[in-house]
Amino acid sequence: MGTQAPGKYDEEVDRIFGVGGPLAPAVGTFRPRQSQTEMAKAIADAIGKQGTLIAEAGTGTGKTFAYLVPALLWGGKTIVSTGTKNLQDQLFSRDIPTVRNALRAPVSVALLKGRSNYVCHYNLERTLSNGRLTSRDDVGHLREISRFMKMTNSGDKAELTKVPETASVWNLVTSTRENCVGQECQYYQDCFVMKARREAQQADVVVVNHHVFFADVALKEGGMGELLPAANTIIFDEAHQLPEVATMFFGTSVSTSQVLELCRDVLAEGLAHARGGPDWAKTVMVVEKAARDLRLTFPEGSTRLSLPQLPPSSAFFPALEKLKEELEGLVDVLEDNAERAETLEQCRVRAVELLEQYKSWKSEPKKGKEVEGDDAVLWVEAFASALQLHKTPLSIAPIFAGQRAGTPRSWIFTSATLAVKNDFKHFSAQLGMTGEPAVSWPSPFDYQQQGILYVPTGLPEPNTMGYTDAVVDTALPVIEAAGGRCFFLCTTLRAVNRVAERLRTEFAERGLDFPLFVQGERGRTELLNSFRTAGNAVLVGSQSFWEGIDVRGEALSLVIIDKLPFAPPDDPVLAARIEVMEKKGMNGFVHHTLPEAIINLKQGAGRLIRDVEDRGVLMLCDPRLISKPYGRRIWQSLPPFRRTRVQADVIDFFKQPPGSEPGSDSQGL
């Protein structure tokens, strides 16, 4: 591609994004925006120089078009990685075709998801023939999937909306890296995973999500392993999620549920191909018991503990040794029978891998040593029916820097939330980037006119008993004034349940006819569609509703946040990270916990104003925003709303017609 002079593409970008340019006829609502045009120029420049750019774009900037135009025209082979599968589908089905048609750009585009998104011919046939279904729903869903397979070109389960994404039957008809037969499979030529990968290899633009990007980079699994070397441009949208996703993939984890799945498959394959061999039911029963016993060394409910927090006398350690022992026995049996069938050989390979993973997780705690060589933390996580052992890198900076080294190419990182008060150091340091250009383009919205930041008075400290009830009491008059139309965002699931319980009672007692939607009662997409349709609803949710959600217009006019989203202090990975930072003389709270909370809060706040016509109130209930010295840094990182601490101001705001708002009023903030 060669090095280009700065500004080489400026004139062309001005023409495309300007009045009379090709984007206006293609997008009915398109209006030239200075920040969008400037961002597109900066990205084009970075692509021309094979450089790196960190680009924060406030809500409403139009960042998607700002990176797609230069990518489609000058990016060469481009990988676009997004935060979620929903955004991935939107880019592939709507945004890229719109820009490609407007520019008449002759580029081919492919969509590549993780293998669990594609129906597997082999596993579908196996499930149809052996009927391992537990519910009537599963039977109906399987019939739909079977019909879908006769018509689909992609095999992507997102196309089959009749079967919920959460349906348990999907686990039986998709493949995992462990149970894929690979080239030995009779359906290899028709395999949808292979087809998606072949198309991705040949396409000019490939749309992936961060999970696929890192899973394949970490596992060298055949998708990215071949895609990355050929790419000229890599664009990460929703880039604020990268540190967390990368940490997950460059760590390792092993779960008792994987052992139970292996046992299930060993039993099925053993009975199918080696009936005269060992007593398969007895063989797997002892392994299953050891896996379940390991889970039972922790109480009911979810638990997260790092290795030093486990008492040496804990039943966990002997139970872990017992599971390793039983897995070794299973490996021996499978070795004796592996040549009887390809599927038994596969089970043997999986058993060996699982055994290795359990062995690599040190079973004896090192006294007072949280971190192995200061680079990883060992911790356990207990769920209702499974126990996971994790080994998590404390920093992905060296690993990610290594990924970026080598072949020269351009790297674009963009999101609405990458900086803390225009400072990008926190994000850059997590990914091992120093001195790379970072620019923030402000939102074109008039926040002074369109919204209010309201921090109520009189609330107790967030750690006191009854805090959530006090928040609900303070919020009720505001919800009533807003006519519902509210997202009530909580930092914990416990708070979600309590808020929902209280609102249900209060709405009934006060005769308020606001539909109430609660996270977990239905799927996220279904809840959002119902919320938009209702027009006066209240939706109570936690983390999954803080970002990646776009509700425009009057249906959402109030966002309430119960407390500042600080990570729980007992999180084992966070505790270990802070310990290492403090050994280096840094302040863990100032340098890690606070910036993380600010970026998270910016995401939550960003749900409110999504369009130039939107109006609304952001109600932050946490008194620490005022009482703590760091509070100022937090609200100065938020959009520049008018600020108030007076409830009457908020009630008046909802009574006023749009456009009649008074000027700025700081009211003690």
Per residue in 222-242, pLDDT (tens digit) is 455 666 778 999 999 999 999
What value, to the nearest 5°, has the Cα angle with vertex 104 and ends 73 and 49?
Answer: 5
CA dihedral 475, 478, 482, 483 (to 10 degrees): 70
Residue % of the chain over a pLDDT of 70: 93
In this structure, the number of other CB atoms found within 10 A of the CB of residue 135 comes to: 11
Q: Identify the pLDDT of residue 364.
A: 45
**Per-residue pLDDT, 40:** 96
Instruction: Decide if pLDDT at 368 tops 60.
Output: no
Question: Long-range contacts of range 223-227, CB-CB < 8 Å, 24 or more positions apart?
Answer: 223/112, 223/197, 226/197, 226/201, 227/79, 227/112, 227/200, 227/201
Element housing 252 (H / E): strand 252-255
Position 334 scores a pLDDT of: 92
| 397: three-class secondary structure by DSSP | helix
Q: What is the signed CA dihedral for 624, 630, 632, 634, rounded to 10 degrees?
A: -80
Instruction: Quick: pLDDT tens for 374-426.
Output: 588 899 999 888 999 999 888 889 888 888 887 899 999 999 999 988 899 99
Contact 632, 613 (CB under 8 A): no
Length of the chain: 669
What's the rounded mean pLDDT across residues 141-170?
Answer: 88
Rounded to an integer, the average pLDDT of 581-599 is 89
* Structure tokens that stand for 99 in this block: 């820009």
Q: Convert the pLDDT of each residue in 239-288 to its tens digit.
A: 999 998 988 888 888 999 999 999 999 998 898 888 888 999 999 999 99
Distances 479 to 144, 647, 657 between C-alpha atoms, Å: 42, 12, 18
Tell me the mean pLDDT in the region 62-75: 96
Question: What is the pTM (predicted TM-score) of this model?
Answer: 0.84
Helix (H, G, I), strand (E, B) or coil at 6: coil
Core vs surface per residue 589-625: b (16+ CB within 10 A) or e: bebbbbbbbbbbbbbbbbbbbbeeebbbbbbbbbbbb
pLDDT exceeds cutoff 80 at 107: yes
| pLDDT confidence bin for 131, thresholds 50/70/90 | low
What average pLDDT does range 129-152 have in this prediction? Answer: 83
For residue 132, the model assigns a pLDDT of 65
Q: With the C-alpha atoms ordered 525, 531, 532, 534, is the resulting torsion angle positive or negative?
A: positive
Contacts of 157 (CB under 8 A, 6+ apart): 117, 118, 119, 163, 165, 170, 174
Question: How far apart are alpha carbons 105 and 67 in whole angstroms?
Answer: 14
Model pLDDT for residues 289-327, shown as the tens digit of each residue: 999 999 999 887 668 888 888 888 889 999 999 999 999
656 or 541: which leads in pLDDT = 541
- Would you call 545 helix, strand, or coil by DSSP? helix
pLDDT of residue 667: 45
Average pLDDT over residues 106-128: 91
